[in-house]
Amino acid sequence: MAYLFGAYFVLWGITFGYLFFLGSRQKQLQRDLDRLLQDRQVSESPAQEGS
């Protein structure tokens, strides 16, 4: 029974580990995207005011 438990623990551990990796990657990418869009808005706004 210990081997069965071990096998299922590893199987779901890998699955949830991968899901956690994807989730944290998504958060990181979303943060980067928001920051880039914000920087872009800031850099574009003086030009718009000037025109």
Partner 1 sequence: MNRKLLFSDLLTAVSALAVAVALFLVFLVAPREAVMGNIQRVFYFHVPSAWVGYLALFVSFVASLLFLFRRERRWDRIAYSSVEIGLVYITQGIITGSIWAKATWGVWWTWEPRLTTSAVLWAIYASYLTLRRAMEDPSRRARVAAVYSVLGFVAVPINFMAIRWWRTVHPLVFDSEGSHLTPTMLAVLIFCVVTFTIVYFALLAFRLRLQRLSDQIQALKRH
Q: What are the residues binding partner 1 (CB under 8 A)?
A: 1, 3-4, 6-8, 10-11, 14-15, 18, 22, 25-26, 29-30, 32-33, 36-37, 40
Closer residue to partner 1 (CB): 43 or 51: 43
Closer residue to partner 1 (CB): 5 or 46: 5
Closer residue to partner 1 (CB): 4 or 51: 4
- The half-sphere exposure of 36 on its side-chain side, counting CA atoms within 13 A, is 6
Calpha distance 36→13 (Å, rounded): 34
Calpha distance 5→19 (Å, rounded): 21
